[in-house]
């Protein structure tokens, strides 16, 4: 089926050859080479049959807002999104970890850390899900867990069940 690929929203230089569709149906054209260079775990329909799936639409569970930010992050030579103005970056943080958007990982983590006093539970969940033990001291006090070992026990339980994304994308 012929599918027209949306133009790149971020730049004029790249030639999108793949379509990402957000949860609300908004579509984004992206270049596969950018995806492969800057993402470690993006769904790859082309891995089965390159020719017939080159123009396949990749449907993502993330919102258009999050997909738009990710598309910006996988662009070389383009200023990164204004991550410090995002008040609740949890969905973005989940997405960049899930798809391993390399240019976004550390800066998004830094943004999440900066919110530890205000949103300690969310930061704790993020830290636990993605193994960011170095964030734990930041949330220990706000959450009110004086006993650090109780957090360690919680983490051991969480680590025993790897995130679904690991199973889904590292087969
Ligand atoms: Zn572009």
User: How crowded is the C-beta side of 149, counted as CA atoms within 13 Å?
Assistant: 0
pTM, rounded to two decimals? 0.78
Q: Mean pLDDT by 10-residue block, N- to C-terminus, for the chain (171 residues)?
A: 82 91 95 91 57 68 96 92 94 96 96 95 93 92 67 64 48 42
Q: Give the dihedral sign, CA 62/63/69/71.
A: positive
Identify the bridge partners of residue 30 per DSSP, sorted by sequence position: 18
Q: Which CATH superfamily is domain 1-104 in?
A: Potassium Channel Kv1.1; Chain A (3.30.710.10)
Compute, in angstroms, the gap from residue 73 CA to the centroid of ligand 1: 10
What is the Å distance from ligand 1's center to 120 Cα?
36
Residues with CB under 5 Å of ion ligand 1 are 8, 10-11, 14
51 alpha carbon – ligand 1 mean position (Å): 22
Distance 66 CA to ligand 1 centre (A): 16
pLDDT at 84: 95
Q: Where along the chain do its domains lie?
A: 1-104, 115-171
pLDDT value for 143: 80
Residues near 54 by beta carbon (within 8 Å), at least 6 away in sequence:
17, 18, 32, 46
């Amino acid at each position: 089926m012929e599918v027209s690929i949306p133009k790149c929203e971020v730049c004029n230089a790249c030639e999108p050859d793949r379509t990402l569709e957000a949860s609300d149906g908004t579509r984004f054209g992206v270049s596969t080479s950018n995806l492969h260079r800057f993402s470690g775990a993006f769904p790859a329909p082309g891995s089965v049959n390159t020719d017939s799936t080159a123009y396949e639409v990749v449907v993502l569970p993330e919102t258009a807002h999050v997909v738009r930010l990710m598309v910006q992050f996988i662009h070389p030579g383009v200023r990164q999104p204004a991550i410090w103005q995002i008040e609740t970056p949890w969905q973005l943080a989940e997405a960049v970890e899930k798809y391993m958007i390399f240019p976004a990982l550390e800066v998004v983590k830094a943004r999440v850390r900066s919110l530890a006093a205000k949103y300690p539970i969310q930061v704790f969940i993020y830290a636990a899900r993605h193994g960011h033990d170095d964030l734990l001291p930041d949330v220990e006090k706000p959450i009110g867990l004086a006993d650090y070992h109780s957090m360690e026990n919680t983490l051991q339980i969480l680590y025993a069940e790897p995130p679904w994304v690991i199973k889904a994308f590292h087969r």
